Amino acid sequence: MKGKPIYWLMAIKQLFNIKWFLIVLITSLFLSIGGWLLVLLTSTFYDLKEMEAMKYASAIYDQDGKRVVQLGRENHEYVPLDQIKTKMLVEALVAVEDRRFYDHSGVDAKGMVRALTANVKEAGKSEGGSTITMQVARNAVLHDREKKMSRKIKEMAVAWNLEREYTKEEILEAYLNYMYLGNQVRGMKMAAKIYFDKDLTKEELTPAEIALLVGLPKAPEGYNPYTQPEQAKKRRNVVLGVMAEVGLITEAEKKRYQREELGVDKKYLAKHVRKNHYQAYQDYVLLEAEERYGITAQELATGGYQIYTGMNRKAQRRMEKAFANSSLFHNQKLLDGGATLIDAKTGQIAAIGGGRHYLHGYAIRALDRRQPGSSIKPITVYAPAIEEKGYSEYSILPDQPYSIGNWTPQNYDRRYHGRVSLRTVAARSINVATVWLLNEVVGIDTAFSYGEKAGLQLDSRDRSAAPLALGGLTKGVDTVQMAQAYSAFANDGKITEAHAIVKITTRDGKVVKPKKKVVTKKVFRPDTARQMTKILQHAVNYGTGRNGAIPGRPVAGKTGTTQNSKEAWFVGYTPEYVMAVMVYNEKGGKVRLTGGEYPARIFQFVMRDVVSDLPVKSFPGTSKSPGKRETVPLPPNSPPKRQAPEERQGPSQGENPHPSLPPRKEPSEPPSKPEPPPVSPTPEPPAPNPTPPSPPPVNPPGGDETG
């Protein structure tokens, strides 16, 4: 009797398997019979010679609705099949993409049943049943890009007709020449040039090079060796396995080639791919289209879509000029960086800085995740203190010896400043007072939650004082995230998710529904945002961000410089736009960086031009004339109009203030006009606790920030 339950369980399991087998069988038969009937009824003829003309180029439009970029103009060179020097390339392609290519009539019924069975077992799409001929057909049937069974039927119909009208060699030649292979390249001949600098008609390819090229059609951007080298290597090695399986190479050769590096070089891109205007912005749009709409770069290139964006052409041109301007980088070849400019109200991305030498296929530097340094302080410390604890710009903080466990933060000048106002702490990027405010007043969990609410992609390991107060984040942040976060200060506490695409329509004008909608949310109260703007205006007018100031315009912002000059930041904003700029050392800290120098000057170079035609307006809640500064005497022996470097020594350091800041005789620098007296949530902040109960941060990831 004890065995009966097991018997019944086995019987039920067997019945379940039989059930699924019957479903697969019946479905396969239905699709096969029905599909073939529809193929016969809907057969259409397409001329392979007209495939190129059948493509419908998609277009990108700017914020004014003007077309700025036409997609689909891929780099392409035609190569006849019999002129390809490396015959193994063709053999490997057939082995990987369609092993029964020479045996079927355009549609492989066995392959489709096999794929369907595998998909049912995996409860999703794990295999495709498309033949090489069907993929060629797909490039002809471009007026219908929806992923429906009806499109598959059309592909089958065209494939069947292609097989009747053309030889296998002609179909294969079309496939080799019109397949999309990433980096705006179509066809094997141009792909071999941009990845290996080889001409297929003159030079032999190695089996490793063949494997990389043959592996690309499955996911050209996902296996892009320039942007996804690890994934590209994995895919190449899988293809090498198939090549060994069919006897194109030996097992020993397979193992040897799998150990090789990819062998690609970005200089080949620069050599063979033509430069396009607005390239970084265009490539960002392609990434966003796939993420938010599920439309691949290949589909966009040929699908006839109309992509409306928030691009400000004037801003994008200026951004490109900034990163091409060597003088803004002091002619230092080891420096590179990225930037993002967004509309403060809508979150629409107006411009993208891809890097100093950006080409399609390069990493978009605006999306590089780097430690933000002190630029994180307003988001995680200062604004939460105002929002949650009633602090103001005049609240007094203690800057005196303070420890968290065995960690003792220090300031740039290696001294303490006593009682200082919150706005002075922000302007001079004083670390000790900031750490005290975070740990004793705001709280680690609160700071972390506000960072996440503002859209920073924090790691669980960042839930400690050093990362949240000084910016030594585990995985860093990118300029899109930082611009989005600061937009809360420019937009009365609300942020709208940063996005480039406003809408996408099909060739017939239908709006494509996004899979992920743009979200607007409240992060801070309006009064908190306005107080932070006053504080950050002060940081630009009197603190480390002076190089970001625009004469006659209100500007608010904060600098940041990380340990050993690895990265430097400036995140600033006007009433209209927010811009985050990041500059980094390609080889450690060989070039001395400060956020108030390189990034702030790039910000000023771009933003000054962007707002030049706009009417001057003040930030909400401010009464002073825009851009008006107090007259402050220079300290003795200080060179005029020269910014002192921000502090960059390590996790315990802060930024060095501008030399023209007045010598402090009182805890807080006096305002130029009568202002309310300094206030604090309590009569006086409590003295720092040298051993607070919170656990000490141990070796903050990646070192910490200073400025």
| 332 neighbors 586 (Cβ within 8 angstroms) | no
Nearest to 42 by CA among 135, 153, 133, 130: 153
| 120 neighbors 146 (Cβ within 8 angstroms) | no
The number of beta carbons lying within 10 Å of the beta carbon of residue 387 is 21
Nearest to 366 by CA among 384, 392, 346, 339: 339
Look up 97 and say whether it is catalytic.
Answer: yes
The backbone torsions φ and ψ at residue 376, rounded to the nearest 5 degrees and listed phi first, read -80, -20
SS3 of 34, please? helix
Label the pairing between strands 59-61 and 306-309.
parallel
CA 577 to CA 572: how far, in whole Å? Answer: 9
Q: Which two tokens stand for residue 646?
A: 């921000």
CA 508 to CA 506: how far, in whole Å? Answer: 5
CA 118 to CA 396: how far, in whole Å? Answer: 67
Residue 345's identity, in one-letter code, is K
Q: Which two tokens stand for residue 286?
A: 């392609």
CA angle 644–648–652, rounded 5-degree value:
125
Nearest to 569 by CA among 560, 558, 557: 560
The neighbouring-strand residues paired with 60 are: 69, 307
| 439 neighbors 466 (Cβ within 8 angstroms) | no
Label the pairing between strands 418-421 and 67-70.
unpaired
| 476 neighbors 519 (Cβ within 8 angstroms) | no
Residue 299's alpha-carbon distances to 72, 190, 625, 647, in angstroms, are: 9, 19, 51, 48
**H helix or E strand, kind and range, residue 573:** strand 567-573
Q: Which two tokens stand for residue 557?
A: 């912002």
CA 310 to CA 503: how far, in whole Å? Answer: 10
To 10 degrees, the CA torsion angle through 445, 391, 650, 368?
A: 60
| 73 neighbors 189 (Cβ within 8 angstroms) | no
CA 566 to CA 585: how far, in whole Å? Answer: 5
Residue 491's identity, in one-letter code, is N
DSSP 504-523: EE-TTSPBPPPSS---EEE-
| 619 neighbors 554 (Cβ within 8 angstroms) | yes
SS3 of 76, please? strand
| 656 neighbors 647 (Cβ within 8 angstroms) | yes
The backbone torsions φ and ψ at residue 279, rounded to the nearest 5 degrees and listed phi first, read -60, -45
Q: Which two tokens stand for residue 679?
A: 């206030």
Report CA 587 to chain centroid distance, whole Å: 22
| 241 neighbors 251 (Cβ within 8 angstroms) | no
Q: Which two tokens stand for residue 262?
A: 């990819």
- Of 58, 374, 429, 660, which is the active-site residue? 374
| 258 neighbors 240 (Cβ within 8 angstroms) | yes
CA 620 to CA 616: how far, in whole Å? Answer: 13
Residue 195's alpha-carbon distances to 254, 515, 529, 581, in angstroms, are: 20, 33, 49, 31
Q: How many residues does the chain have?
A: 707
Look up 668 and say whether it is catalytic.
Answer: no
Q: Report the catalytic residues.
A: 97, 374
